[in-house]
Amino acid sequence: MDAMKQMARLIRMRNRVDADLAALIGRPATAWHIGRWIAAQVFGVELEKSATKAIGGRLPDGRTVGVRWYLKQEGVLDLRDGGPDLYLVLAGPKAPAASSRDTVRPMVIDAVYLFDAAAVVADLKSRGRKAVTASSVRAELWDAAEIYPRHNPAFPLTGEQRALLAELGS
């Protein structure tokens, strides 16, 4: 019974925090919605009015972007064939894909990746794979797509963007 009382107390606390987050972003306080809001604030993504998993919005240069926030970077990416131009991935700490038992998934951003969607899908197809939920993306592609914390001349970040992301790191 003590464990249930503790659970109820913690859920009430979490519900208060989630209500504050929802009031700030105007959507339910899920990692997906919060990640989209962060992408709009940090990268200037103009979010689509209707939140879809395929295209989350547009970058200031007009390219469409699918926004993902993975609380752990496990080398998988939710892809759609014929999806957006780019995937902007906010990621927590690197971790092998394994059981979640006795672990936590804190809401942190330790790295950001910007993938050319067509190139990632083409790489999968060249290996006889399809673009699906939890597509296994080669480590080399993750490395090439990293725009934070490493500097990537293909998509340079401002000092302000880096400072904002650092606030959300572990």
Tell me the pLDDT of the chain (170 aa) as tens digits: 799 999 999 999 999 999 999 999 999 999 999 999 999 999 999 998 876 667 889 999 999 999 999 999 999 998 877 789 999 999 999 887 777 787 788 999 999 999 999 999 999 889 888 877 888 899 999 999 999 999 999 999 999 999 999 999 98
- Alpha carbons 14 and 167: distance in angstroms, whole number: 21
Q: Set out the domains of the chain in order of their start, with CATH numbers.
A: 30-167 (3.40.210)
